[in-house]
Structure 1
Amino acid sequence: MKRLLCGFMAVLLLCSGCGGNTVKQSGYQQITQEKAKQMMEQQDVVILDVREKDEYDSGHIPGAVLLPVGTIDETSAATVIPEKDSVVLVYCRSGNRSKAASKALAELGYTEIYEFGGINTWPYETE
């Protein structure tokens, strides 16, 4: 019986590690910056910068659109992301605002939200 229980626990632990580079949060997934870059290169995505305009103007990921986290509501989100099933990659400066923005977008009904932290650790190109 102990062996059966230990085997079952081992399978549970192994399965909990499955899933690659994503962690499911409240209606959105947290991914690595490497995974975000791969998604940018391989599919049609909306890259969403949720910092303030002056931060965005000082440097952002190529192709990113600005939607400051404090302005997110049904109308502003629909202007930038018209389709609620669009793949949206969300970032900010350090990762705090992007989590809040991702949660807000999920609560508005967006279904493909991926949060990947902050630009301050982004190892790829910016403009």
Structure 2
Amino acid sequence: MRQILLFAALAASLALLSGCALSKAKEDKAEDMPDKAAYHKISAEEAYEMMASQEVVVVDVRTREEYDVGHIENAVLVPNESIGSEMPEALPDKEATLLIYCRSGRRSKDAAEKLLKLGYQNVYDFGGVIDWPYKLVKEG
């Protein structure tokens, strides 16, 4: 009888420990796979590094007038007010990595959240151009 109790206790301990190990493995896998469709806030420096090291679409969500005064080179103008319930024509690829900015950061956050709701998967908000320490270009 004593051996049966000892065996049962040992089996229960092994089951408990292996369950903990499996739970930890699942947590590790979840951490390795970021939620692609989540809101990502990054710094201007991180955005600059992404622009230099990978294929990205830089999206300016300010007005045409603000864009013409100065914008990040190769930025696509998609005013925040124009983002609604349909996919913007200037952004046809929902899998593309989008780097969103505005003047101060308020509109870029709003635009990033709207783009996520439209099904875009890789949306990064790097705030406002007022915090951009790098060169801007002007139209014309």
Flag whether TM exceeds 0.5 (same fold). yes
Partner of residue 111, structure 2: 101
Contiguous gaps of at least 5 residues in structure 2: 1-30
AA partner of residue 126 (structure 2): F
Detail structure 1 runs of 4+ shifted over 4 Å in the superposition: none
1:48 equivalent to 2:62? Answer no
Partner of residue 11, structure 1: none
Helix, strand or coil: the match of 2:134? Answer: coil
Q: Distance in 2 between matches of 1:54 and 1:46?
A: 21
* Residues 27, 107 of structure 1: 8 Å contact kept: no
Q: Tell me the C-alpha RMSD between the 2 structures.
A: 1.8
AA partner of residue 113 (structure 2): K
Following superposition, the deviation at residue 37 of structure 1 comes to 0.1
Contiguous gaps of at least 5 residues in structure 1: 1-18
TM-score of the superposition, structure 2-length normalised? 0.69
Helix, strand or coil: the match of 2:109? Answer: helix
TM-score of the superposition, structure 1-length normalised? 0.76
Q: Distance in 2 between matches of 1:63 and 1:83?
A: 17
Partner of residue 73, structure 1: 84
Q: How many residues align?
A: 103
User: Which deviations, in whole Å up to 9, do the C-alpha atoms of 1:8-28 show, x marking residues without a partner?
Assistant: xxxxxxxxxxx9xxxx8x832
Which residue of 110, 118, 124 maps to 1:114?
124
* Residues 49, 66 of structure 1: 8 Å contact kept: yes
AA partner of residue 51 (structure 1): R
Change (3 A) 1:62 1:40: same
Partner of residue 38, structure 2: 27
User: Which deviations, in whole Å up to 9, do the C-alpha atoms of 1:77-105 show, x marking residues without a partner?
Assistant: 2x111110100000000000000000000
Q: Distance in 1 between matches of 2:46 and 2:131?
A: 14
Helix, strand or coil: the match of 1:83? Answer: coil
